[in-house]
Amino acid sequence: MAHLAVRDVHTFYGPSHVLHGASLEVETGSIAALLGRNGMGKTTLLRSIMGLTPAASGEIELAGTRIDHLQPFDIFDLGVGYVPQGRHVFPYLTVQENLRLGLRNKRKRDPEIFEKLFGYFPILAERRKQKAGTMSGGEQQQLAIARALAGEVKIMLLDEPTEGIQPSIVDEILELLVRINQADGLTILLVEQNMELGLSVARDFFVMEKGVVVEAGAVAGMDKERVINEYLVV
């Protein structure tokens, strides 16, 4: 069954029409890569799913329930985790405070969840009292992912989590996502500009071009050369 289904979504920023009928389906428990050159609407599509820039028309369904008229906080409550492009950690809050804000019940300090997250990202345990804004890009990225995981979400939207991060940490992050996907069945929609990276972890792929999803399918049967030449060469 589709965990997330987007059908014919049109989205605007003020007068400018950015998504022109985008559609995609992410299977429950799968990892899907959303590819495409800069400016094609990948970030906007995630923003529309999260309710940050609501779709003007079309349908967005989460496990069969329409979410396209909900607010971001309601969508979070339904178990959707969001790791935005540029990470967006709260810069003047500590690592620990950032993580607490990711919890479903922010009143309850949940030692079990924290232990699990610190197990995934040992660096965050070391830095727990440090202000997030003072950490390196890679550390902030790990924090942004951990914060999303703190909400015990069922599906996670990640927007270019490897952008501007040193390769060793990129590998660690991707391996971890695969591990959580396999262990907990977390569904993942991963936006990647680096196609090789995206395809190395994904089962399915989508390619966006000018606000529309133009290619979709299983990575296994993908004609990489053609897709690269048609859509991904700058």
Partner 1 sequence: MSTTQLILLQILNTGVTMGILMLVAIGLGIIYGLMDVINLAHSEFLMLGAYGWVIARLVGLDGWTGLIIAPVLVGLVGYVIERGLVQYLYRRPLDSLLATWGVSLILVQAARIVFGPAPQAVPTPLEGAVDLFGMPYGRYRLFVLAVSIVIISLTLAVFRYPTFGLKTRAVFQDAEMAKCLGIRAPRIYSTGFVIGAALAGLAGALVAPMLTVAPDMGANFLVQSFLVVIVGGAGSLVGVVGGAGVIGGIQGLISYFSSSVLAQVITLTLAIIVVRVRPRGIFTRK
Ligand X SMILES: Nc1ncnc2c1ncn2[C@@H]1O[C@H](COP(=O)(O)OP(=O)(O)O)[C@@H](O)[C@H]1O
Say how many CA atoms lie within 13 Å of 199 toward its Cβ.
20
Q: Which of residues 52-91 bind Mg ion (CB under 5 A)?
A: 85
Q: For 72, list phi and psi in degrees, rounded to 5.
A: -55, -40
Q: Which pairs with CB-CB distance under 8 Å and at least 24 residues apart come from 176-180? A: 176/120, 176/121, 176/145, 177/31, 177/145, 177/201, 178/31, 180/120, 180/149
Q: How far apart are CA 177 and CA 159, in angstroms?
A: 13
188 or 227: CB nearest partner 1: 188
Applying CB under 5 A, among 4, 25, 32, 43 the residue interacting with Mg ion is 43
Is 220 a binding residue for partner 1 by CB under 8 A? The answer is no
Q: How far is the CB of 28 from ligand X (least distance, A)?
A: 25
Is 52 a binding residue for partner 1 by CB under 8 A? The answer is yes
Is 128 a binding residue for partner 1 by CB under 8 A? The answer is no
CB 42, CB 34: distance < 8 Å: yes
Tell me which residue has tokens 């500009």: 193
Is 101 a binding residue for partner 1 by CB under 8 A? The answer is yes
Is 44 a binding residue for Mg ion by CB under 5 A? The answer is no
Q: Which of 53, 99, 91 is nearest to 72 (CA)?
A: 53
Instruction: From the list ligand X, Mg ion, partner 1, none, pick the one residue 65 interacts with, judged by a Cβ distance below 5 to 8 Å according to partner type.
Output: none
Q: How far is the CB of 88 from ligand X (least distance, A)?
A: 14
Q: How far is the CB of 149 from ligand X (least distance, A)?
A: 23
Instruction: From the list Mg ion, ligand X, partner 1, none, pick the one residue 44 interacts with, judged by a Cβ distance below 5 to 8 Å according to partner type.
Output: ligand X
User: Which residues would be at the binding site for Mg ion (CB under 5 A)?
Assistant: 43, 85
